[in-house]
Amino acid sequence: MFTKASLNDLNKFDSYFKVSCFFISPPWFEERPKNLSTIAGSTVEFNCEAGGTPKPDVTWRRLDGKMPLERTQKRGEITLRISDVSVSDSGMYVCEAKNEAGSAVTLASLKVVVAPELKEKPGDSLLVVGENLVLKCRVEGDPLPLIVWKLPHKNENILLTGGQNSNHVSVSQNGSFLLINSIKIEDKGVYDCLGISSGGGVSSRAEVVVVESLPPPLIGIRPLDQEAEPDSIVSFPCEVASEASEAKIVWFFQKAAHLPAQQLSSKRTITQLQTGTLKIKQISEEDAGIYKCRATSKSGSVEAEAILKVVENVNDYGDRFSSSQALPAPPSKPRITFYNSTSVHLTWLPNSRGTNKETEFYKVEYWRAPWQEWRVAKAEVSETSSVIADLTPDTAYIFLIRTVNEIGESFPSPWSDMIYTSPIGSNGVSLEEERKMRRKLNKPSVALLSAKASSSSSVILSWELLEGSEVVLDGVIVYSVADDSSIETATVFGVSSMSHIVRDLRPNTQYTFFLIPFLRTIEGVPSNSKSLVTPEEAPEVAPTAISVEVFESGTTLVKWEPLKKSEARGNVIGYRVYISHNRTESIKETQNPWLEVQDLMEGRLYTIKVAAVTGGGVGPWSSPELINIAGIPPVGRQDSEDDNEEVPSVFYAPPHPVWLLYLLVPIIIFLIIVSLLYLRKIRRKSSSSSIDAQMGPTLYSSSGYGPTHQVNMYGEQKLWRPTDSDQDSSLSSARLLRTEHLANEYAEPRIQRLSDATEPYATTALLAPASPRNNRVPAAWRHDRCAEDIQVNWSALIPPPPTYPPPRITAEGADTCSSATTSESGERRHYHTGSSSQYDNNGGGSEQYERPCDTAAPGDMVSEHTYAVYVPVPQDGSHSADGFQTFSTLQANPYRKVKTDLLPTRGIQPPKICDISF
């Protein structure tokens, strides 16, 4: 709202007016109604809250116009309530919000289901081994309920649905009938019929007792001895109690105990009533004797007898005593309230027509298989309850009660329910407590809320306890029913957790889940069910039975067997076919289990593989199949000359040389490259050695600090060969700088022929010893540490080469020390030549070299090693200007030959090399 005012000349408000502005917006939904599913007869509510400016009006309607107005009411502005819903109320409901700016619409669905209802329940049964049993359980509902039968075995997983069977137990296709052929003792127990749908669940149970034989009949009212006058009427009662099977009564007459009995038939004076009573008229002396009543059924027979005496005078007491009207009335059916492995507690009620309560008492009788008669458990019981002990464990028993007074026994009570005593070691069961728990669990107490698939093999279930449940549950049993009627169970203890993950499910399979609550050993009413289909996965196997057909038109047909549903693990949406030739590959897709290929060429070998495709992915490829298009007669060609020839298999191909070429060619190329590289490396080494030889007499090939080539002092390549010790230490060349290491190290001379030109040589690699007068390092060793080049004083390191070769040794003195030379120092040296020596380069003798004599003359002082050396003769001008002997000056000086012992020089260290890092 805006206000505007105007002033006059006197600065007073003259007039004013107001302007109002409104903002409008179309409706939107702050809360949308949810889809609902409920059972018939319940009440549902839809909430729909809308916003907007101005505030919109909310209206409800049914999409098809069939709104149940009589059961519908609007609560407030946002809630629609429908009471007592029925199946006809299912449909779509529309919430519409409207204002001046526009309107908005939203939908919600209502699904009303009819809860399952038992129309026919299975009943308890008592059977003999070998008989057949049919249990019927009819359940109706919308949707149609799933009927599940739970068998009374120790294994809780034995459940059957429609069309299933287990050994001799089978279920009809609709699940309503359970048939047991040739029932066994092991089939005894409680059979549960469960009816489950999304609307809820119902259950009914039937107890089946199986015995080796049924209880035999027993005489309810026995005939009594009587005395009768001639021409009177006598009645012998004989009433039979037989609940297991129908019994037939037959009378026999025996004149005396030692005479045979005869069956009585109806005649003028003898009549048998429907109740089994025998009536005799016009009694005479011939009618006196023993009368027997025999009751026979499928389960056995029983007899009772009475004696008739014919006398003249009969007192009234005997006639009154013979009347069955004076017998007491039978009590009620006994109830079993507790039992264990060896005892049973029974209770019953007396008959209200009892004559004298003070004089009456009770008798307990019982039967168990395979007895042929009823026996007395307790003959006299004054109370209306009793504990029967000393029973056999895990055995079926039936009990009955009789009332006894001074006149006789009553007709037996109805038989009790047959029970099996507990096995040894089990706890006792209070049937009264069991009945109470069953009454509490007789109503639904658990509702299954949701079932969501978390993966292709697991589903998450969640549930809640219904309001009004009075019992505290011990847990629930989770049932999973697959579409093939297979059933799995899982037990969840406690009620603190209201969810469970069902695992190990099959992909792409429809499952129905429901719960059954339990308290101790008692199970309650099943919950409603939830159904879903698990997600798909890629197939776990590849297609099989791949075959190929080649037609005359050039078309190749590839076929294979489609996958089974259990193998596909999903809906197969197609197949992929892999075709390759050498390195040419292609993948083709098809929706059918076959493929026509047009572009295959004759004379080629192809590889074919097939894989199935589902919504979950591509499965594994099949084993490669080789097809040779060449050599396969086209399908359809009918050549008479080829009729008798065997058609080669489409999957056979002879060895093909192409693959061998692909393997050998790369190997050959690789070997050629390696050989070329090796030859190139050898050539580089050879050229490098020749260059070093042309550079003249130098110790090192460069100004570096270590030898790189073995070059002797004459500049010859490989004149000296290092010894084995030098090779190991890798310092053979460096030892030229260390005179103390050269005491016993020899150089091997080269082998020369007589025709070869004479070259300078040395018999040994020697270093000139240091002057004894100067133990200091020669001036030639001293150098600048950081000098760029190292200058070597050759005269201080190595001896000079000889000017002339040694004289030739004649053959006459080859085997003896034929000459001796005396050095300037006066020491005598002996020499000899031999055919072989350790100084030779080969096994043969040397004709050009002199060596120390292996043996000396007696009395001569010979050192360990004697050498022939050449020493220089000093002359003027033989030195360089700076006093440093060079290689050229060493060769120019004259030398003379002397004999000497060379001892290693100690204390002289090699020059230090400048430590320069590059």
Reported as a single tens digit per residue, the pLDDT across 242-261 is 888 888 999 999 998 888 98
CA distance 73 to 79: 9
Residue 549 lies in a domain: yes
Name which of 194-198, 467-471, 880-884, 886-890 the model is least confident about.
880-884
Residue 173 has pLDDT above 80, yes or no: yes
Both 330 and 291 in a single domain? Answer: no
Torsion of CA 796, 802, 803, 806, to 10 degrees: 160
At position 870, the amino acid (one-letter code) is Y
Give the max Cα distance, the chain.
Answer: 197
Q: Closest Cα to residue 107, out of 124, 128, 92?
A: 92
| Token pair belonging to 19 | 């302007």
Please tell me the predicted confidence (pLDDT) of residue 360. Answer: 87
Both 512 and 561 in a single domain? Answer: no
The whole-number average pLDDT for the span 45-70 is 90
Both 296 and 329 in a single domain? Answer: no
Please tell me the predicted confidence (pLDDT) of residue 909. Answer: 45
Name the DSSP letter for residue 471. Answer: S
| Long-range own/partner contacts, residues 584-589 (CB < 8 A, 24 or more apart) | 589/613
- The confidence band for 96, taking pLDDT boundaries of 50, 70 and 90, is very high
The whole-number average pLDDT for the span 754-766 is 49
Cα distances from 228 to residues 271, 309, 508, in angstroms, run: 17, 6, 88
Cis, bond preceding 370 (omega within 30 deg of 0): yes
Host domain of residue 188: 121-211
| Token pair belonging to 519 | 């308290």
Residue 229 lies in a domain: yes
**Would you put residue 449 in left (φ > 0), alpha (ψ -120 to 50) or beta?**
alpha
Task: Answer yes or no: are the C-beta atoms of 758 and 783 closer than 8 Å.
Answer: no
Give the number of domains in the chain.
6
Residue 432 has pLDDT above 90, yes or no: no
Task: Answer yes or no: are the C-beta atoms of 339 and 396 closer than 8 Å.
Answer: no
CA distance 297 to 216: 7
CA distance 36 to 54: 30
Which residue among 576, 596, 629 closes a domain? 629
CA distance 700 to 707: 6
Beta bridge partners of residue 617, listed in sequence order: 614
CA distance 792 to 656: 72
| Token pair belonging to 384 | 């209306």
| Token pair belonging to 412 | 């037996």
CA distance 29 to 50: 4
| Token pair belonging to 145 | 């309920």
At position 509, the amino acid (one-letter code) is T
E-state strands within 529-648: 530-533, 544-550, 556-561, 572-581, 584-590, 594-597, 605-614, 617-618, 625-628
N- to C-terminal Cα separation, the chain: 91
Residue 6 has pLDDT above 60, yes or no: no
Provide the H-helix boundaries in 415-516: 431-440
Q: Closest Cα to residue 877, out of 888, 865, 861?
A: 888
Both 239 and 171 in a single domain? Answer: no
Task: Answer yes or no: are the C-beta atoms of 80 and 93 closer than 8 Å.
Answer: yes
Q: How high is the mean pLDDT of the chain? A: 74
For 799-833, how does the pLDDT look when each residue is reduced to its tens digit (9 = 90+)?
A: 656 554 555 544 444 443 434 444 444 444 444 43
Residue 442 lies in a domain: yes
For 103-113, how does the pLDDT look when each residue is reduced to its tens digit (9 = 90+)?
A: 999 999 998 88
Residue 729 has pLDDT above 90, yes or no: no
Residue 139 lies in a domain: yes
In the numeric block, the tokens 């004379």 are attached to 603
CA distance 489 to 360: 55
Both 309 and 329 in a single domain? Answer: no
| Long-range own/partner contacts, residues 552-556 (CB < 8 A, 24 or more apart) | 552/634, 552/635, 552/636, 552/637, 553/634, 554/598, 554/600, 555/596, 555/597, 555/598, 556/596, 556/597, 556/598, 556/600, 556/627, 556/629
DSSP three-state, residue 633: coil
DSSP three-state, residue 363: strand
Both 220 and 307 in a single domain? Answer: yes
Q: Domain of 239: which CATH number? A: 2.60.40.10
Residue 899 lies in a domain: no
- The confidence band for 687, taking pLDDT boundaries of 50, 70 and 90, is low
Both 383 and 446 in a single domain? Answer: no
Both 443 and 514 in a single domain? Answer: yes
Residue 699 has pLDDT above 90, yes or no: no
The whole-number average pLDDT for the span 215-232 is 89
- The confidence band for 772, taking pLDDT boundaries of 50, 70 and 90, is very low
For 336-374, how does the pLDDT look when each residue is reduced to its tens digit (9 = 90+)?
A: 988 888 999 999 998 877 656 677 899 999 999 888 899
Q: Closest Cα to residue 16, out of 27, 6, 8, 24?
A: 6
CA distance 786 to 915: 8
Name which of 276-290, 304-318, 668-682 the model is least confident about.
304-318
Phi, then psi, of 133 in degrees rounded to 5: -130, 135
CA distance 2 to 281: 127
CA distance 809 to 806: 9
Task: Answer yes or no: are the C-beta atoms of 856 and 818 closer than 8 Å.
Answer: no
For 12-38, how does the pLDDT look when each residue is reduced to its tens digit (9 = 90+)?
A: 555 555 666 667 899 999 999 999 888
Cα distances from 848 to residues 752, 806, 845, in angstroms, run: 9, 7, 9
Q: Is the dihedral of CA 260, 261, 265, 271 positive or negative?
A: positive
* Burial per residue of 514-551, b for 16 or more beta-carbon CB atoms within 10 angstroms, e otherwise: bbbbbbeebbbbbbbbbbeebbbbbbeebbeebebbbe
798 vs 660, more confident: 660
Render 662-683 in DSSP notation, one character per residue. Answer: HHHHHHHHHHHHHHHHHHHHHH
Which residue among 398, 425, 452 closes a domain? 425
DSSP three-state, residue 445: coil
* Burial per residue of 416-433, b for 16 or more beta-carbon CB atoms within 10 angstroms, e otherwise: bbbbbbbeeeeeeeebee
Both 350 and 264 in a single domain? Answer: no
CA distance 564 to 621: 16
For the chain, give the percent of residues with pLDDT over 70. Answer: 66
CA distance 174 to 149: 12
> Among 383-387, 751-755, 891-895, which range has the highest average pLDDT?
383-387
106 Cβ contact partners less than 8 Å away, ≥ 6 residues apart: 29, 32, 33, 48, 94, 95
Which residue among 375, 397, 425 closes a domain? 425
* Burial per residue of 143-167, b for 16 or more beta-carbon CB atoms within 10 angstroms, e otherwise: eebbbbbbbbeeeeebbbbbebeee
Q: Closest Cα to residue 280, out of 236, 246, 324?
A: 236
Residue 617 has pLDDT above 70, yes or no: yes
CA distance 188 to 167: 15
HSE-CB for 704 with a 13 A CA cutoff? 10
Residue 498 lies in a domain: yes
Both 454 and 512 in a single domain? Answer: yes
Residue 614 lies in a domain: yes
For the chain, give the percent of residues with pLDDT over 90. Answer: 24
Both 476 and 420 in a single domain? Answer: no
Residue 412 lies in a domain: yes
Render 85-131 in DSSP notation, one character per residue. Answer: --GGG-EEEEEEEEETTEEEEEEEEEEEEEEEEEEE----EEEETT-
| Token pair belonging to 328 | 């007491």
634 vs 352, more confident: 352
Q: What number of other Cβ atoms are within 10 A of residue 370's Cβ?
A: 7
For 485-515, how does the pLDDT look when each residue is reduced to its tens digit (9 = 90+)?
A: 888 889 898 877 889 999 999 998 999 999 9
| Token pair belonging to 260 | 């045979």
Length of the chain in residues, anyone? 918
- The confidence band for 744, taking pLDDT boundaries of 50, 70 and 90, is very low
Name the DSSP letter for residue 839. Answer: T
Task: Answer yes or no: are the C-beta atoms of 699 and 720 closer than 8 Å.
Answer: no
CA distance 638 to 656: 29
Please tell me the predicted confidence (pLDDT) of residue 346. Answer: 94
Provide the H-helix boundaries in 509-624: 565-568
Both 328 and 405 in a single domain? Answer: yes
For 554-572, how does the pLDDT look when each residue is reduced to its tens digit (9 = 90+)?
A: 788 888 998 888 788 888 8
Q: Is the dihedral of CA 642, 643, 644, 650 positive or negative?
A: positive
